[in-house]
């Protein structure tokens, strides 16, 4: 006799009444049942990988649950293709990297997802313990490059929500070769002087939303690489760090372009740059087309609006070369606040491919309560309504 059956029936009816799909049962996999230990000391890498194997191999929607506590984890790759159509990592605990930076330092990634579809990460904290590697990089030259904290490669329908990423060795989050990605309510924190700790890096990906995130790092807040298409960035607070950057592009001769990027309602606090486009002074097939920078606030930003097509760090092989990247249809609308240097708007485009279709509208950037300046080289476009500093277009 099964007493629970009528009861379940009622619940199914209730679910149906409230529009909850009663057919999509979710199977749960608690990492503790695979041997993970929430004590911060016992290596739980194997347990996490086994939980993934189980969830991935199920034909149901699945949830991998990480309860409260600290889990010591080495480099882990979660690979598809999975049978499960939807896998949710529900994290209430903190995933902790080994204290010795050399353990992860030679890996490209700490936690990577490859070739997966329908994976969500909800909640939790990732503590990569990067500060000892930064210290090495500040004082020596023979340190490992370091690992990205979280990466998704060749994946689709990905969601990352309410995650905290702390002190990455290198980039915090990388989206590479992906489609349909939502990143929302994510917090990223690393020291303002930490090397190469970019917040979120996107490349070779399309239909990406990054919304309501707070990003404090030592490098770019969000960096946008070649082959990015339909990227929507909204309500981000950046700083400290280097701001939001399209590029560097044009490092290679054959490169995919960047098209249709929107950055909206973003706040930059004391960052090195605000809204930046940057390309190497080198030949390239790449391009940047249709970018909308809107309704953003600069607070003491060194270069609030900047296009730099003469990027050539340490003059690496590009002395006297010219950028082949074509920059077209770039709108700056509703950008206000303060610059910490006299030149608030700087367009330095390629002599071979001048920037075209650049539009400034309702821009008000001041420097020490005075008027700031703008500087234009090889750029064509127009200014509309109020533009301070006075437009050089």
**Applying CB under 6 A, which residues contact ligand NAG?**
117-118, 156-157, 180, 230, 232, 260, 262, 364, 366, 386
Q: Is 219 a catalytic residue?
A: yes
Q: Are 198 and 225 in contact (CB under 8 A)?
A: no
Q: How far is the CB of 180 from ligand NAG (least distance, A)?
A: 6
Q: How far is the CB of 341 from ligand NAG (least distance, A)?
A: 16
Distance, CA of 268 to CA of 24 (rounded, Å): 42
Q: How far is the CB of 311 from ligand NAG (least distance, A)?
A: 26
Q: How far is the CB of 333 from ligand NAG (least distance, A)?
A: 14
Q: Are 117 and 143 in contact (CB under 8 A)?
A: no
User: Which residue's CB is nearer to ligand NAG, number 76 or number 119?
Assistant: 119
Catalytic residue among 198, 242, 328, 348: 242
Q: Is 242 a catalytic residue?
A: yes
Between the alpha carbon of residue 105 and those of residues 141, 143, 366, the distances in Å are 14, 8, 43
Distance, CA of 335 to CA of 297 (rounded, Å): 6
Within 8 A by CB and 6+ apart from 308, the residues are 276, 277, 278, 279, 346, 348
User: Which residue's CB is nearer to ligand NAG, number 140 or number 369?
Assistant: 369
User: Which residue's CB is nearer to ligand NAG, number 300 or number 364?
Assistant: 364
Quick one: CA torsion of 237, 241, 246, 247, rounded to 10 degrees?
A: -160
Q: How far is the CB of 157 from ligand NAG (least distance, A)?
A: 4
Q: How far is the CB of 132 from ligand NAG (least distance, A)?
A: 39
Within 8 A by CB and 6+ apart from 5, the residues are none
Pairing of strands 70-72, 206-216: unpaired
Q: Can you count the helices (H) and strands (E) in the chain?
A: 4, 32
Beta strands in 199-302 (DSSP E): 200-203, 206-216, 222-224, 229-238, 244-249, 258-264, 267-269, 273-280, 287-301
User: Which residue's CB is nearer to ligand NAG, number 81 or number 319?
Assistant: 81
For 389, which DSSP code? S
User: Which residue's CB is nearer to ligand NAG, number 92 or number 179?
Assistant: 179
User: Which residue's CB is nearer to ligand NAG, number 20 or number 253?
Assistant: 20
Q: Are 293 and 309 in contact (CB under 8 A)?
A: no
Q: Which residues are catalytic?
A: 219, 242
């Amino acid at each position: 006799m099964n007493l629970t059956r009528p009861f379940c029936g009622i619940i199914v009816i209730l679910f149906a009444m409230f529009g909850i799909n009663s057919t999509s049962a979710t199977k749960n996999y608690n990492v503790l049942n695979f041997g993970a230990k929430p004590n911060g000391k016992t290596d739980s890498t194997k347990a996490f990988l086994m939980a993934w194997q189980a969830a991935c191999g199920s034909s149901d929607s699945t949830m991998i649950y990480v309860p409260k506590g600290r889990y010591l984890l080495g480099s882990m790759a979660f690979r598809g293709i999975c049978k499960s159509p939807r896998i949710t990592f529900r994290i209430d605990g903190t995933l902790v990297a080994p204290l010795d930076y050399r353990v992860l330092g030679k890996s490209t990634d700490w936690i990577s997802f490859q070739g997966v579809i329908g994976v969500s990460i909800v909640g939790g904290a990732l503590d990569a313990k990067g500060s000892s590697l930064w210290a090495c990089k500040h004082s020596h030259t023979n340190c490992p490059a370091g690992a990205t904290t979280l990466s998704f490669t060749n994946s689709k329908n990905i969601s990352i929500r309410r995650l905290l990423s702390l002190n990455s060795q290198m980039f915090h989050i990388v989206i590479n070769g992906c489609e349909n990605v939502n990143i929302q309510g994510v917090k990223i924190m690393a020291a303002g002087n930490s090397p190469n700790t970019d917040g979120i890096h996107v490349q070779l990906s399309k239909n990406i939303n990054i919304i309501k995130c707070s990003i404090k790092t030592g490098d770019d807040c969000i960096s946008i690489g070649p082959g990015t298409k339909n990227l929507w960035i909204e309500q981000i607070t950046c700083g400290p760090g280097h701001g939001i950057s399209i590029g560097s592009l044009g490092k290679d001769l054959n490169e995919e372009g960047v098209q249709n990027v929107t950055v909206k309602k973003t706040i930059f606090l004391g960052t090195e740059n605000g809204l930046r486009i940057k390309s190497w002074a080198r030949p390239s097939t790449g391009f940047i087309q249709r970018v909308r920078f809107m309704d953003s606030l600069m607070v003491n930003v060194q270069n609030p609006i900047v296009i730099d097509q003469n990027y050539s760090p340490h003059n690496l092989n590009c002395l006297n070369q010219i950028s082949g990247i074509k920059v077209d249809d770039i709108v700056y609308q509703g950008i206000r606040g303060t610059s910490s240097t006299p030149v608030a708007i700087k367009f330095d485009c390629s002599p071979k491919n001048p920037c075209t279709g650049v539009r400034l509208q309702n821009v008000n950037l001041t420097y020490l309560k005075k008027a700031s300046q703008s500087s234009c080289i090889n750029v064509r476009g127009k200014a509309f309504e109020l533009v301070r500093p006075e437009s050089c277009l």
